[in-house]
Structures are given as C-alpha cells and as structure tokens.
Structure 1
Amino acid sequence: MATNLFSSFEPTTFSSSSLSLNWASSLIMFLIIPPMFWLTPSRWNYLWVSLISAIHKEFKILIKEPKWKGSTLMFTSLFSIILVNNFLGLFPYVFTSTSHMSFTLALSLPLWLSFMLFGWINNMIHMFAHLVPQGAPSPLLPFLVIIETVSNVIRPGTLAIRLTANMIAGHLLLTLLGNSGASCNLYTLNILILVQTLLLILESAVAIIQAYVFSILTTIYSSEVE
C-alpha cells in the first residue's frame, strides 16, 4: 500500500535489500525489440518499422546536412527508448523511469554537451553568431547575448523537466482517481472507470507526443551546430 501520493515514483520501492530492480524496466525494450527483426515479419513488426521510417524522414528533413548522414539513427533510437519507457509506465506495477530527472537528464545533458563541444571546437564563429539575433538593434545586443546564452545553457534542463513533468502529471491524476475508488458507490464507480479509461487513452497520446517532442527538439539543437 502506498504510504503517500509520491511513493509510486520512489526508485527504491519494491527493492530487495540494497538492490533496486525498478530501473530494470528501462532495459526491457532491449529484450523485446531486437529479436523481432530476426523473426518472420508480422503486423507488429510492420507497424514498428513504419513508425521508425516515418520518424527517420522527419529527422532527415530537419538536419539537412549531407555530412550528418547516419545521425538520424541516434535520434531514432532516442525516440524509441523514450516511447517504450513511457508506455511501460502505463502498465500496473511497472516503474516509470521517464518520470525521474535522473533518467531524462542523463539523456539530454550528454547530447547537448556533445553538440556544444563539437560546435565551439569546429566552428566558433558560427556559434558566436547564434548568440546575436539577425537585425537586432545595437543597444540591445549585450542583453540579447546574455538572454541567448542563458536560454542555450538551460536547454538540457528544460528538455528533462518537460518530459518528467508531463509523465508525473498524468500518473498523479490516475493515482488520485484510483485511490478514491474505494469510497465510491456503484454508480460513481462506473463513471470513475470511464474517466480513468479516457485518461489512460490521453496518457497514451501524451507518451507518444512527449517522445516525439524530446527527440525533435534534440534534432533541432543539433542542426544549429554546423
């Protein structure tokens, strides 16, 4: 039984001794996805390949650089990891790793840092030009440089917080509605089940959208580094 509202997001829940097995849920996709490419093509295989192909085309349009060939594989893998972990969190008694900053920040920070190092080392003039918006008045240039620098520095944090906050919000609402079921009568319970079903459908859409937004924004940040 949950001791408080946020106990479902506690990484040490259901752990034996000092070993927490909750984070193992983020590795389930490595056991599910690779084997299906070696099996006879099925509807699930066709659906997954179609989804990855569509995402690959989106990333290819955003990058627009011949020298970045093959980089879409990294962003497609990022989308797959986040999408699978978001959906796994919708199942009962499955730990939602994407609702923790330690997981989302571990995805966004290394990517952002590698983009920045690559840009500043290989094309410093271009990176400095990004700090000054085109056509900005001269008296405002110092302030605009500060604003652009701050907005650039907080990018990995905003990526991580956006994904974490959206996953936590839906799960908390489902938890609140589920805890109130014991005190409801039969009529109210039927309405509650209907509302939770609709909310679960909404959370499924949010899981897809947040994975897409995270990977698309990361691709856009990488395309700014030439």
Structure 2
Amino acid sequence: MNLSFFDQFTSPCLLGIPLILISMLFPALLLPSPKNRWISNRLSTLQTQLIHLLTKQLMLPLNKKGHKWAPIFTSLLMLLLLTNLLGLLPYTFTPTTQLSMNMALAFPLWLATLLTGLRNQPSISLGHLLPEGTPTPLIPALILIETTSLLIRPLALGVRLTANLTAGHLLIQLISTATITLLHIMPSISILTASVLMLLTLLEVAVAMIQAYVFVLLLSLYLQENI
C-alpha cells in the first residue's frame, strides 16, 4: 500500500524511454504564440498582461543591470507554474516532484548569479562571507558558517519545491483513498472527507503557484546580492 502511494512519483516510461521530457515540454504547448496582428484575442492579451505583471514583480528588487535576467526568470516561472498546476490533474505526472529536475534548475542558475557577482564585483561578493564589525576570534567560524549557508542555497531551493509538492500529492491521495474506502462503510464520514479533499485541492493549487513564485523570487534575491 505504501509503495503504491509513491508510484505516482515514478517517471513514466514507454518502451523503456522516459516520458519526463514530454511532460516538461507539454506546458509550453498551452501558451498561445503571439501573432502578427494589431489586435490579438482575449487569451493572448490576458497572457501578455499576466507575464508583464509577474516580470514587473520579479524585477522590483533588482537594478537595471539585473533586468537582462527578466526573460530567464519569467520563462522559468511560467514553466514551474504550468508544470505544478498540470500535475494536479488526474492521471498526470508532475516533473517538479523529482529532486533531480529541481536541482538541475536550481544549481546552474544559482551558480550563474554567484559567478556574476565574482566577475563584476568580487570584493563585495566575498564581503558577504564576513559581516562588518565581526570580532577577530569569530572570523574563521563566521566565514565557515556563511560559506556553508551560501553553498546550501541550491539544495534548499530544490528540496523546498520537491517537499511541498510531494507532501501535497501524498495528502490528496491518502484522503481520496479514505473517501473511496469509507463510501460503503460510513457514508457520512466519506462526505466529510470528500469536503476536506476539496479544500485540500484548493490549498494545493495555491501551493503550486506560490512555490513556483518563491523559487524564482529567491533566485532574483540571490542575484540582487551579486549585482
């Protein structure tokens, strides 16, 4: 029974070929491509306004030097947002529940922000490892602690996204299993668990959107420290 609960996080395969790449590319098919017309349809207009609002919100902490990262952050946000939301549909697979994928997104972008700071302003970037006014005996310990906290950032990004989505999917499956099991035994309790399942589904939709936004927002804050 416990093994079947975690089967939903196993990457599906067809003839021995993993289908995770197709599940990652599918959200992009849902976004309407812009057309060479003066007047677009409502869906394209809504999409443009939403992307503009999200990009503006992400670029608030950054100066003009960081605005060149806007296409990367906006594309990553839309990918995570659509992937997380599509994973809530029945009989679907959520790629962002895989720690390997989240680390593959978090580590290169975190490393890029770090290398940007070391290239443009090395003294300021290295100065974050030692707070100003630190007593001399505490300097080695603080440098070690700050270096560890710096290196653990990509792991925290990947684990946070994986843990939140995995926990939500497990709770939904557990409560839905209890609802179906209790339907013939205790119908009243089954109705109660079904109502809890509906509320949990709404909560998971909010978590899917918030976690995608938090993932990209933290990357923008890391970039703010290095520009």
How far apart, in 2, do the equivalents of 1:74 and 1:97 lie? Answer: 19
Opposite residue 16 of structure 1, the aligned amino acid is L
3-state SS of 2:133 partner:
coil
Q: Which runs of 5+ in 2 are unaligned?
A: none
* Structural mapping, 1:1-226, within 5 Å: 4-11=4-11, 13=12, 15-35=13-33, 37-38=34-35, 40-42=40-42, 44-64=43-63, 66-184=64-182, 185-226=186-227
How many pairs are equivalent? Answer: 221
Structure 1 residue ranges without an equivalent (≥5): none
Letter in 1 for 2:9: F
**Runs of at least 4 residues off by over 3 Å:** 44-47
Change (3 A) 1:115 1:204: same
State whether residues 88 and 96 of structure 1, in contact with CA within 8 Å, keep that contact through their aligned partners in structure 2: yes
SS in 1 for 2:79: helix
What CA deviation, in whole Å up to 9, does each residue of 1:69-126 have, x standing for no partner? 3321211111111101110110011100111111111110110111222222333212
CA shift in 2, pair 1:199/1:47, >3 Å: farther
1:34 deviates by 4.0
Q: TM-score, normalised by structure 1?
A: 0.90
TM-score of the pair, normalised by structure 2: 0.90
Please provide the CA RMSD for this pair: 1.9
Identity %: 37
**CA deviation profile, 1:133-186 (whole Å, cap 9, x unmatched):** 123323222111111100100111000000000000000000111122332132
Counterpart AA for 1:51: L
1:202 partner letter: L
Quote how far apart the aligned CAs of 1:223 are. 1.2
Q: Deviations over 1:29-82 (max 9, x none)?
A: 2212143x338321x434333322222122221112x23333212111111111
User: Residue 2 of structure 1: CA displacement?
Assistant: 9.0
Contact 1:115 1:225 in 2 (8 A): yes
| Superposition deviation, residue 22 in structure 1 | 4.1
In the alignment, residue 188 of structure 1 is paired with which amino acid? I
